[in-house]
Chains A and B, each alone.
Chain A
Amino acid sequence: MTPQPLRFSRCLPLLTLLCVSISNYSMADGSVVDKIYHPYVDALEQELEFRAIHQDDQPEAEDNLQLYRFGYGRAFGDSWFGEVYLIGEKSDDTGFKLEAYELEAKWQITEQGEYWADWGLLMELEKESHENIWEFSTGILIEKEWGQWSGTANLVVTQEWGSDIKDEIESSAGLQMRYRLSRWLEPALEFYTGQDTRAIGPALMGNIKTGIRKRLHWETGLIFGIDEDSPNMTLRALIEYEF
């Protein structure tokens, strides 16, 4: 029932290849500011999730772009977590519309604290609702603990294909340094990079216990662009009901 060390050894060639691949392709477009994933799975857990992203002016993008995700997820065994999402979008140019559907799977590869760092793998399949556009993303999730500090990296490679898009492979990355101040409040610093986005900013997150194995997890962040191509400011918010 415990993730086995051997699994880590087996997937090493894949992980190594993915890391090297990230350096060889163009960087991802679209909004790369999003949730930072942690490489852990809590067995028996189910969750309802709502995420919102609001980015202001950005060259090559609609003004005041808002992205929303509604998701339901659950654990499968001790090492896997699956989630389905509906993704909505709104901007100054368009009203709210259902933009895409997504399936997501997370695999906890190593036991927390067993190795120098903790490792997980994220896979996402997304289909645009009104266009023939598909995306498949594979992300390496890495977390390292230093006392009350936790550092997390998400390294993602995305392949896009379909008759309404030029096939391409893109990459993006999200980094988070979090201070575990208390279960109710944890401050963090986050950095995101992808095509047209280099951004950094503070975030806050925490948990509110609502019962036995029931809690609300919340996150919010204000992420500032650090070059001319990036949105000046992106506000991100997330709330999960875990049960």
Chain B
Amino acid sequence: MMVLGLGLVLFGHYSVAGTPVIEIEIKDHLFFPATIEIPANTKVKLLVINRDPTAEEFESYELNREKVISGNRKAVIFIGPLPPGEYPFFGEFYPKTAQGKVVVIDQ
């Protein structure tokens, strides 16, 4: 437990500065852009801006993420580091239209 306590202190000072930021907009229940390319094995910060007046939820089992973005608000979602591949995501409130994917590219 002492080790865990020490670990807490160390992780608390871990910085995420330098994490690439990618903006995604939700408008008319669509994601813009719908396809996002990110480098492999790199943590990325998604800044999701909801331009619609209604809430939407960014959901992806493949990315292991669920995040509600209230209407006319924004939210941050961290993804990765990920191996190369395609990772679909969708809007839980409007799944028929709000669809997209993260393409992880080996550079």
Interface residues of A (CB under 8 A from B): 1-2, 5, 8-9, 12, 15-17, 19-20, 22-23, 40, 42-44, 78, 111-117, 145, 147, 150, 155, 180, 182-183, 212-213
Contact = CB atoms under 8 A, between A and B. Distances in A.
B64 A180 contact: yes
- Chain A contact residues: helix, strand, loop or mixed: loop
Contacts of A12: 8-9, 12
A5 B8 contact: no
Contacts of B64: 112, 145, 150, 180
Contact of B55 (A16, A44, A183): A44
Nearest to A182: B61
Given A1-B70, A180-B61, 11 more contacts: A2-B76, A12-B9, A12-B12, A43-B68, A44-B68, A78-B68, A112-B64, A112-B67, A113-B78, A150-B64, A212-B93
A1 B78 contact: no
Interface residues of B, number: 32
Contact of B16 (A5, A9, A40, A112): A5
B92 A19 contact: no
B5 A112 contact: no
- Chain B contact residues: helix, strand, loop or mixed: mixed
Contacts, number: 73
B49 to A, nearest CB: 12
Interface string B73-92: 11111111001000000001
Contacts of A19: 1, 4-5, 8
A16 B9 contact: yes
Nearest to B65: A112
A142 to B, nearest CB: 9
A108 to B, nearest CB: 11
Given A19-B1, A20-B2, A112-B78, A1 B73 contact: yes
B39 interface: no
Contacts of B16: 5, 114-115
Residue from the set A8, A9, A213 with the largest chain B CB neighbour count within 10 Å:
A213
Interface of B: 1-2, 4-5, 8-9, 11-12, 14, 16, 43, 55, 57, 61, 64-68, 70, 73-80, 83, 92-93, 95
A20 B43 contact: no
Top 6 A-B residue pairs of the complex, sorted by shortest distance between their CB atoms: A113-B78, A23-B1, A43-B68, A19-B5, A12-B12, A16-B5
Contacts of A15: 8
A114 B57 contact: no
A213 B1 contact: no
Nearest to A171: B1
Contact of A213 (B5, B67, B73, B92): B92
A114 B78 contact: yes
Contact of B75 (A1, A117, A145): A1
18 contacts: A1-B73, A5-B16, A12-B12, A16-B8, A20-B2, A23-B1, A23-B2, A42-B68, A43-B70, A44-B55, A111-B77, A113-B43, A113-B80, A115-B11, A117-B11, A155-B4, A213-B57, A213-B93
